[in-house]
């Protein structure tokens, strides 16, 4: 049986992953409206990945004989200012999620909850990837500045994500 505090923080993380999925879907809609179809595609897949992360928490809570408690989702923004602003918002959100995962990890340590430890290790590694992916796109966008041709090249590259 899982400790009630662990159950609570795992449910909070389930909600945060669902919100991330919601946020990235809003970003995908924004990129569609901006005719940046590669960015829109990339974000749509990112949204799908976050929903999968949420389901990992859903399954883990159930497997540990805990109770999944769904919470309401905050409304994501509709506009993100610019392509670079949207990607910066994405990186900022990933850093927030990294902090939450680290807090979860610490709580698992406090309760000597070894199964949660092992479960969370995948997320610790995943966050390194997630932050890097957002940072790489930001670096490319910074490099091209206001060059529209450069933006189309990045957009084409992101369209290839499978």
* Site residues, ligand FEO (CB under 6 A): 17, 20, 50, 53, 94, 97, 130
Candidates 162, 46, 157; CA nearest to 97 is 46
Candidates 31, 67, 23; CA nearest to 141 is 31
* Nearest distance, CB of residue 52 and ligand FEO, angstroms: 8
Q: Which is nearer to ligand FEO, 29 or 100 (CB)?
A: 100
Query: CA 145 to CA 148: how far, in whole Å?
Result: 9
Q: Write down how long the chain is.
A: 162
Q: Which is nearer to ligand FEO, 120 or 151 (CB)?
A: 120
Q: Which is nearer to ligand FEO, 30 or 123 (CB)?
A: 123
* Nearest distance, CB of residue 62 and ligand FEO, angstroms: 19
Query: CA 148 to CA 94: how far, in whole Å?
Result: 27
* Nearest distance, CB of residue 133 and ligand FEO, angstroms: 9
* Nearest distance, CB of residue 14 and ligand FEO, angstroms: 11
Q: Which is nearer to ligand FEO, 137 or 151 (CB)?
A: 137
Candidates 31, 15, 8, 20; CA nearest to 90 is 20
* Nearest distance, CB of residue 20 and ligand FEO, angstroms: 5
Q: What share of the chain is helix, strand, coil (3-state, %, to 5)?
A: 80, 0, 20
In the bound state, the residue with its beta carbon closest to ligand FEO is: 53
Residue with token string 């995943």? 126
Q: Which is nearer to ligand FEO, 101 or 151 (CB)?
A: 101
Question: From the CB of residue 71, how many other CB atoms can be counted at a distance below 10 Å?
Answer: 12
């Amino acid at each position: 049986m899982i400790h009630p505090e662990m159950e609570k923080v795992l449910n909070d993380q389930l909600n945060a992953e669902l919100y991330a999925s919601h946020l990235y879907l809003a970003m995908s809609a924004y990129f569609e409206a901006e005719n940046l179809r590669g960015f829109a595609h990339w974000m749509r897949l990112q949204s799908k990945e976050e929903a999968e992360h949420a389901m990992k928490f859903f399954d883990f809570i159930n497997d540990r004989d805990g109770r999944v408690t769904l919470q309401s989702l905050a409304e994501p923004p509709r506009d993100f200012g610019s392509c670079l602003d949207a990607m910066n918002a994405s990186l900022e959100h990933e850093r927030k999620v990294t902090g939450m995962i680290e807090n979860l990890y610490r709580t698992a340590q406090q309760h000597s909850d070894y199964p949660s430890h092992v479960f969370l290790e995948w997320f610790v590694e995943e966050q390194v990837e997630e932050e890097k992916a957002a940072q790489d796109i930001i670096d490319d966008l910074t490099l091209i500045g206001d060059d529209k041709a450069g933006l189309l090249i990045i957009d084409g590259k992101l369209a290839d994500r499978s």
